Structures are given as C-alpha cells and as structure tokens.
Amino acid sequence: MGLIVQKFGGTSVGSAEKIMRVAGRVKAETDKGNQVVVVVSAMGKSTDQLVGLAKEISSQPNKREMDMLLSTGEQVTIALLSLALNEKDVPAVSYTGWQAGIVTEPVHGNARITNINTEAVQGQLSAGKVVIVAGFQGLTVDGEITTLGRGGSDTTAVALAAALKADKCEIYTDVTGVFTTDPRYVKSARKLLSVSYDEMLELANLGAGVLHPRAVEFAKNYQVKLEVRSSMEKIEGTVIEEEASMEQNLVVRGVAFEDEITKVSVLGLANSLTSLSTIFTTLAKNHLNVDIIVQSTTDTKTANLAFSIKTEDLLQTLGVLEDNKEQLNYEQLDAENKLAKVSIVGSGMISNPGVAAQMFEVLAANNIQVKMVSTSEIKVSAVVEEKDMLKAVEALHKAFGLSVAS
C-alpha cells in the first residue's frame, strides 16, 4: 500500500461531469489499495471570474479581501469532488487549507507555506478516507486566510506530499506533460519523459506555465517524486526527479519564453560604491522585481545602468526612480517596451562550453538583435524584440536538436 497525492487543475474539474471523471481516477487508485490525498483547483476559469468581479467594484482591491474571495473557488470544488466520491462508494472528506493544517507566512496574495500540521489529514487517511484538500490557500498563525499566488495549487499538492512523506505526487493537467517548448506555439515541440528538478525550476521561472515554480522548489528540497500528466488521456507524463535520464543526450532540454518585458535605462548615474545598492534597495522596498541587470561604466564619474522588468511594473518603477531622483543621483531615465525573453535550459550546459556562443550565432543568423543577456550554470537568456520572439524560439528549438523531425 502506498500514499499518493494527486492534484487536478481547473480545466480538469471544470464541470460536474469532469468532477465525476476525476472521482473515477481517484477510485482507480483506492481500488489498488492505495491511500489518496487529492488537491484541487477552482473550477475552470472561476478564479479569473472572481478577480473580474472584484475589479468591477474596486480598481485596487484590498489584498486581504481578495484572499477571502479567491479562496472560495477551491472550496466549491472540494465539496463537489467529495460528493462525487461518495456517490461512487468511496469514503471521502473535504478539507479547506486551514482544516488540512496548512500554515503560511502573513502575506496576502502570494504567501509561502511555512508549516503543515498533518495530524487531521493523517487521521482521516488511517480511517480509510480519501482526503480532498483545497489548493492555493492557507492560514496564518493569526488565523487570516491567505492564498499562494496564481497557480499555487501545485504548491499545495507538493508541500502536502512532502509533509506526508507520500510515495508520489501526480499533477494532472490539460497537457500531457512538460514539453521542450510551448506546443501551442511551436508545432515540433516534444514531450520530455523526464526533467531534473533544476531544469524544471529554471523552465518554470522562465515562463513555462505548466508548474508553479514554488512547487518545484518544494519537490527539490524534499525530494518529492513528481509527475505531470494528462487528466484526459491515459498516457505517460513527465517525471521530475533529481537526475533526469538523458534522452538523446541533449545539452539543451527546453526553450522557454516570456513577452511583455521592458528594459529600463538609468543614464548618467553618479558612480559611487553605493550607487547600485541604493537603486536596487529602493526598488526592492517597493516590491518591484528586477530581472536582468547590465552596467556599463562610461567614465570614472558616471555609469549607465539598464535592467529588465515586467512591463506591467513600468509605471510604478519609473515613479519610484523619479521620486528618488536626487538621492539616486542620475541624469536621465529611458524605457524600451515590447521586448521578450527567450531562454535555453539544460543541465548538460555545465560541462559543455560554447552553448551561449551557439545561441548567439543562431540568433544572428536569423537577424535577431540581442538587447540583454543573462546566464546561470544551466540556462542562457536573451532579451529580444517581441516581434522576434517566436522566430527565435523556433530557430533555437531546431538548432539544439529539440524538434521532432530533427
């Protein structure tokens, strides 16, 4: 007998009929004699609809009340799935995040799980029940409801699997696994049978929407065996584990991309030991996330600095920089919109020099100008114009041998 955590995303539980189908999947597992914890998302697009309703009432809704509102979506699904399992004579009980003992830090809209008290869930499992837990939500030590950030049900599932020492965590979704790149845009994208935690972490952070980045972080830290698979088709998915088996020995395993990026330049920045720390501390204090940073010293007195941000943060970023102009001591600001980030990811890069060089050759051969670059041990990212994004992705996908036909 094993313990399995299964997570079903919004599209997989989008109607009563689909919820009955999920109940069938869960029953298949209990019929095998396994204990099952199920984590579910809100039905279909209901979280988006709740956000829409709030926006009709307030342009900047209070974050605590948003958590109160959004956490209701998952509560609908847990009750319906529990009813569905009971219809199939599978004893089940539904739990909200707090009933399942999920404790988070006191942050609204994007809280991290700090602890899980598994006693109640374990008690129900021992009593022979399937426990259905609402994803995406938790409770602070002061008893406030929080949510984990959009897509956060994945994190609930992996964190529960870690806390319960489950044998496996299965993420059921509307795609059949993790692909070499987004199959909606690139026809030759291929499903990967396995990916390492580190590769998946890079891919998730670089815009591959298939898994919540924090879920991958948890899986890596607690060595949770994770599998992403289809809730519709009964086919093998993608296993995420410490060492991915090297199919085809590929150095690059995936190409990720993200649009709506803006490059902000700070020109004529007075050069001092603390000028960089002052700028980035000021931005951080205002919760503004900066991605790639490039600094070029023009002479000894002043430097030019550029960094990339999400376009949605542009107005706020410029506002903060302008409000603090005197203290930050620069001459001028500049912003370039309509940019995108294209990244190649693969553990094999550590031991293979020349991967970045090949990436730039491919981009140059396709007449694509690179605006900014950043690297880690296992990824290279290039900021390009948005209009070149898909061309870059296709060219890199092909050049690094990821296309099906290659």
The residues of the shown chain that bind ligand ASP, judged by CB under 6 A, are 9-10, 41-42, 47, 73, 135-136, 150-153
C-beta of 157 vs 395, nearer to ligand ASP? 157
Torsion on CA atoms 403, 225, 174, 133, rounded to nearest 10 = -160
Q: Is residue 44 near Mg ion by the rule CB under 5 A? A: no
Partner whose binding site includes residue 21, from Mg ion, ligand ASP, none (CB under 5 to 8 Å by kind): none
Q: Token digits for 223?
A: 């060595």
Query: SS in 3 state form for 4-19?
Result: EEEEECHHHHCCHHHH
Q: How far is the CB of 229 from ligand ASP (least distance, A)?
A: 16
Nearer to ligand ASP, 214 or 379 (CB): 214
| CB 268 within 8 Å of CB 279 | no
Count of C-beta atoms within a 10 Å radius of residue 381:
23
Residue with nearest beta carbon to Mg ion:
151
Tell me the window of 8-16, 67-75, 125-133, 258-266 that interacts with Mg ion (CB under 5 A): 8-16
Looking at residue 238, its amino acid is: T
Distance (Å, whole) CA 162 – CA 215 = 11
Using rule CB under 5 A, residue 151 touches Mg ion? yes
Distance CA 156, CA 148 (A): 8
User: Smallest gap, in angstroms, from Cβ of residue 151 to Mg ion?
Assistant: 4
Q: Is 190 helix (H, G, I), strand (E, B) or coil?
A: coil
* Piece of 6-14, 139-147, 266-274, 398-406 that binds Mg ion (CB under 5 A): 6-14
* Residue 398 near which of ligand ASP, Mg ion, none (CB within 5-8 Å, type-dependent): none
179 binds, among ligand ASP, Mg ion, none (CB under 5 to 8 A by kind): none
Q: How far apart are CA 396 and CA 403, in angstroms?
A: 10
- Least Å distance, CB 45 to ligand ASP, is 8
In whole angstroms, what is the distance from residue 193 CA to residue 205 CA?
A: 20
User: Who contacts 376 (Cβ-Cβ below 8 Å, separation ≥6)?
Assistant: 202
Minimal distance, residue 166 CB to Mg ion, in Å: 19
Residues found near Mg ion in the complex (CB under 5 A)? 9, 151
